[in-house]
Chains A and B, each alone.
Chain A
Amino acid sequence: MRTVAEINDKIRRGTVTVWTITEAKALIAQMGVAQAAKTVDVITTGTFEPMEGSGAMINLGHTDPPIKIVECHLDGVLAYSGFGAVDLYIGAGQMATPGRESEAEEKGGGHVIADLVADKSVTLSAIGQMTDCYPRASLDTTITRDRINQFYLFNPRNLYQNFIVGVNGGDRPLSTYLGPLQPRLGNAVYANSGALSPLLNDPELNTIGIGTRILLGGGEGYITWEGTQHFPLQRRLPNRTPVGPAATLAVIGDAKRMNASWVRGCYFKGYGPSLMLGIGIPIPILNEEVLMRCSVSDQDLVAPVIDFSIPRRVRPTFGLVSYAQLKSGRLTLEGKTVRTAPLSSLYFAQQVALDLKQRIDDAEFELTAPVQSLPTDTRFMPQDSWGQ
């Protein structure tokens, strides 16, 4: 029907037709798949949610005399330095080291990354190895994003294709990565935006792959690889969407050009820090099949309800529930009405999709065809090397 090159041509000529995923659902229902596929060139999707599998690469630039960092804290949060000289990696889920200078206890790598993106200054305290090439013993300074050589997000696991719903069937409150789960099925938390979610609108990743240009934290980014725990073989419904966590993506993007609104540090009480991140993905409407997949609705998407009170790798489940049910705010489990709440921001997800649409309309963002598809047959290997 159309190629990515043709779409880019239209973008440059200002004749491209772009819909956000929310607009697309309504318009497809109105005009039908065939007509909609003829009309629209690109559908933009977005998501905004905590993505613990994120982190930033920092190259400080060399000091004089030079230093080879062996240990480094940024605002009291440990950054990995095992790359030589002045390369650092700070992970979103890294907790502030107790007793370091960080003012707030409930703070971690996600906050340091968000502060740098917001152009705030961050203290750096590093110890050097002292070699003949790098004689310096220590470095204490403050950095901002404009005073470091390079600063980019390099996220090993983002954008889960579907996720789980957490509940607590036990009798004490639990602090989880989904926030507080109250005892005796007091609440349920889901963490995916369902029909708005990028990877549920291209369930077999036919248009999305390595090299796809995306919107990452309000700046430009790219899909670089499958994410860790990528599990495309998850059981799927006839509409090809997975019934639980499936594909994941590794992404990269220049953090110096990101926008603080879409990159925010967060902290789950009793669990730890993370990074909330906005990601937008364009879906080029190459043919009717691609468009048809974008018409999926919350009724046709499901997630498993998992009991967190049993802390084992395989937790008991209460079966599958649809996103339409989850978004209604209530759910019935064992004859009991349970309140549901999202963790993925549906409002911000739509804002991200809108932002991406605007950029394509304004010819500020062109599409890329993937240079390589993501693997579709990776198994999930558990770590059973000892014990049991």
Chain B
Amino acid sequence: MKKRLTLTFPKRTINMPITYRLAKDFNVAANIFRAHVAPDQVGKLLVELSGDIDQLDAAIEWMRANHIEVSLVNREIAIDQDSCVHCGLCTGVCPTESLQLDPQTHKLTFTRSRCIVCEQCLPSCPVQAISTNL
């Protein structure tokens, strides 16, 4: 079971070794997609947690008890097939290579499971074919 979450840390919990505790106490692996942590500021992490469903829930509960704000990422990227011209421009800026051109047909392919919803592709599309569902 995998869950994508945005974690928001209040200033005082920033120093907590979060991924270590998740792994050790809950057997939950954390894959960090994006981190924004600066001294004396609120920190933000975009993570994908994987583990047993009960332990995932327990881990989320534990984080909330420690004043870490947890929100599920359910935004998704959508590609409008009627507008897309398969120019491929978005493939050069996608950090996870979720967007690629098929080497045979040269059509755009989107691998949703790899997408981290970083939205870098949005402004790159010259025909505004890419959107998020929010």
A→B interface (CB under 8 Å): 48-50, 106, 179-180, 182, 186-189, 264-269, 274, 276, 329, 339-348, 350
Closest CB in chain B relative to A341 CB, distance in Å: 3
- B78 contacts partner chain A, Cβ-Cβ < 8 Å: no
Closest CB in chain A relative to B81 CB, distance in Å: 12
Which residues on the B side are within 8 Å of A265 (C-beta)? Answer: 127
0 or 1 for each of B85-117: is its CB under 8 Å from A? (1 = yes): 111111111000000110001111000000000
In Å, the complex CA distance between A345 and B64 comes to: 48
CB-based contact A345/B93 at 8 Å: no
Minimal Cβ-Cβ distance residue in B for A344: B87
Which residues on the A side are within 8 Å of B55 (C-beta)? Answer: none
15 contacts between A and B (CB under 8 A): A48-B85, A50-B126, A179-B124, A182-B93, A187-B92, A265-B127, A268-B126, A269-B123, A276-B85, A339-B92, A341-B88, A341-B91, A342-B87, A345-B88, A346-B86
CB-based contact A340/B105 at 8 Å: no
Q: Give the number of residue pairs across the A-B interface with Cβ within 8 Å.
A: 72
Contact residues on B (Cβ < 8 Å of other chain), bracket: 20 to 34
Closest CB in chain B relative to A182 CB, distance in Å: 7
In Å, the complex CA distance between A47 and B119 comes to: 29
Q: Beyond A345-B85, A348-B86, is A179–B106 a contact (Cβ under 8 Å)? A: no
CB-based contact B127/A264 at 8 Å: yes
Minimal Cβ-Cβ distance residue in A for B107: A347
- B132 contacts partner chain A, Cβ-Cβ < 8 Å: no
Additional A-B contact list (5), CB under 8 Å, known A267-B128, A339-B92, A348-B86: A186-B93, A340-B92, A341-B92, A345-B87, A346-B106
- Kindly identify which residue among A179, A186, A187, A347 contacts B86, using a CB–CB cutoff of 8 Å: A347
Q: Beyond A341-B89, A341-B91, is A350–B126 a contact (Cβ under 8 Å)? A: no
CB-based contact B124/A264 at 8 Å: no
Which residues on the B side are within 8 Å of A340 (C-beta)? Answer: 92
0 or 1 for each of B30-64: is its CB under 8 Å from A? (1 = yes): 00000000000000000000000000000000000
CB-based contact A343/B85 at 8 Å: no
Closest CB in chain B relative to A46 CB, distance in Å: 13
Closest CB in chain A relative to B83 CB, distance in Å: 8
The 7 tightest CB contacts between A and B, nearest first, are: A341-B92, A346-B106, A266-B126, A347-B86, A187-B92, A347-B106, A342-B88
Closest CB in chain A relative to B22 CB, distance in Å: 31
In Å, the complex CA distance between A346 and B88 comes to: 9
Which residues on the A side are within 8 Å of B87 (C-beta)? Answer: 49, 276, 342-345
Minimal Cβ-Cβ distance residue in A for B123: A269
Minimal Cβ-Cβ distance residue in B for A338: B92
Q: Beyond A345-B87, A346-B86, A347-B106, is A188–B126 a contact (Cβ under 8 Å)? A: no
- Kindly identify which residue among A188, A268, A274 contacts B92, using a CB–CB cutoff of 8 Å: A188
Closest CB in chain A relative to B126 CB, distance in Å: 4
